[in-house]
Structures are given as structure tokens and as C-alpha cells.
Amino acid sequence: MIVRKYGKLYGVEFGPGATDLITLRAVHILNSVSVLAIPKSSEHLEPFAWRVCSPIVRENSTQEKLFLHFPMTKDPKILIPTWDKAFSEIGKRLKKKHNVAFITQDDPSVYSSWNYLLEEANDRWPGIEVEIVPAVSSITAIPATLKTPFADGRERFCVIPGTSGLEDLPELIRHFDTVVLTKVGRVILRLVYILKELNIIQNASCVSYGTTDRKK
């Protein structure tokens, strides 16, 4: 008989933003765990993750909703203590053998905040059982929204983060038929400038909230 020292930790992606695109497996897990760990970027606004997921989470007086504040910054002096506090709060629940689901919009293995937690999990809670639950990818939701394929036949495409990959654009467009940039909100003006300089802005498309009624 195996005796678990900790509860099970799930990384659950809810998809590109439409509630009806959440997978059946995600729905099952979000309704079965003892604790939902819900990231939020603002102390005052309702987290986007919870806005999308709450319609499919049944009323359950025994389930805890653990809201974790992650400010929108790259400053390690702010991020490190913020993450450490979040890990500590999650750890308290895991040590009580409560199963915890960390909700993430991003693909869990691609530029996701979940990866910080995954890297720390075995060091903080040795032997813990972890399950990653993928979803409809936000990356593939883009061509679905545009009704245009990223690549066909022998064409190639690549994916880079807009926050740290813009300087590589001139080289990338030489080698790939399509370049996909994620998380461009904070660098959109710089991106537009670069696209104009490269004379390719007429070939560019921008998608925001592509699978929702806020699509633009």
C-alpha cells in the first residue's frame, strides 16, 4: 500500500478563453479537487481565469478557491517573493493531502506561469504526484479565428514570445513562412514599428480574445 505524503498537484489549462472550449477532463478535475489555485494579476479585478472557468465549476461548499496574486512585472525583486508566497500557500494545502488544481490560460508547457511551479514542485514536495492537463491551444486558436492556416505543404512556422523575441524577427522571416508572436500586448507599438520597417505589416494579423465575444 502506497501512502501519499502530499495531495496531488494538477496544472490545468482552460484554453484560449471561451468557456465552452474547456475540455471534459479539465471540467472533471476542476470539480473534483479540494483546492482551486487561481492566479490573478490585479488585487481588485476578477481574474480572467476565474471568469472563464466559474460557469463550469459546480457549487461546492467544501472546495477552497485560493486566489494568488501575480503582478504583471518582470522585476525579480517583486516576482521571487510573490512566487515564494504562492508556493507556500499551495504547499500548506498539499501537506494536508488536499488535491490542488492550478489554473492556467497558457499552454502549460509553453511560456506558462505554471512552469515555475512545476520546476519547484519536486524540490519543495519530494515525490509529489503531478498531472498536466492540456487544452485547446491558444496558438492553434489563432488560425481558426483568422480562417487561415499557419502552414501548408512544405511551409514552416515558428512561435516566439513577443516580450523577448522581437529583435529576432528580421532573421526569422527569412527562414519561416509564418512567425507567430505571443504575449504582444505590452510591446504592440514597438512591434508595429518593426513590421513597418521590414515592410511586412500588410501581411500581419493581430488576434485578441479570438474565441470569445470580445474578439478583435
What is the value of pTM for the model shown?
A: 0.88
In this predicted structure, what is the pLDDT of residue 211?
Answer: 79
Q: pLDDT digits over 92-147, tens only?
A: 999 999 999 999 986 777 778 788 899 999 999 999 999 999 988 888 888 998 99
CATH 3.40.1010.10 fits 9-133, yes or no: yes
Average pLDDT over residues 50-59: 94
In this predicted structure, what is the pLDDT of residue 215?
Answer: 67
Contacts of 120 (CB under 8 A, 6+ apart): 83, 87
In this predicted structure, what is the pLDDT of residue 201?
Answer: 96
Q: pLDDT digits over 57-73, tens only?
A: 999 989 999 999 887 77
In this predicted structure, what is the pLDDT of residue 74?
Answer: 77
Average pLDDT of the chain? 90
Q: What are the boundaries of each domain within the chain?
A: 9-133, 138-203
DSSP 123-183: HHSTT--EEEE--S-HHHHHHHHHT--S--TT--EEEEEHHHHGGGHHHHHHH-SEEEEE-
What spatial distance separates the first Cα and last Cα of the chain, rounded to whole Å? Answer: 54
